[in-house]
Amino acid sequence: MNTENNIICNDCKHKSHQITLPDGKSVGHWDGVSIETLQVEIQRIQSEQKQNGDQRSNYVTKFGVPHQDQVPDHLKDFIAYIIWGVDLEGKALVASRANRIEHIDYISEWAGNSIAADAKNRAIDPNSGCK
């Protein structure tokens, strides 16, 4: 974990564990084991970015989080809310503020319901008005 009071991750030795920003800068790390560790890192990064007045276009996103291969294929396009990552126990860090942890079984059930399906269909329908 980054223990310095800056946003650069100087202690991440494994590139495959790095959390990166859209501009490619490494700002943290997660080994894919515990979702609680990812939650601490994402919330730390978000807080530091807000404090530093960073440009929103370079805010941390789920695309910069390692171990996306642990997210089940059927949830990779899930858009009802953000899935930051999934740990080895099947727990997922969700929501834009990374403030909820849910098991992938629960998300999978929810993803199959009509509300989630409607949201996905609106997102991919060019005539829906959603952009």
**Residue 103: predicted pLDDT:** 96
**Residue 129: predicted pLDDT:** 52
Q: What is the pLDDT of residues 15-29, one digit of tens each?
A: 689 999 999 999 999
Q: How far from the centroid of its chain's Cα atoms is residue 103's Cα?
A: 15
> Whole-model pTM?
0.77
Residue type, 23: D
Q: How far apart are CA 122 and CA 7, in angstroms?
A: 37
Q: What is the pLDDT of residues 80-120, one digit of tens each?
A: 889 999 999 999 999 999 999 999 999 988 776 655 556 55
Q: How far apart are CA 127 and CA 7, in angstroms?
A: 41
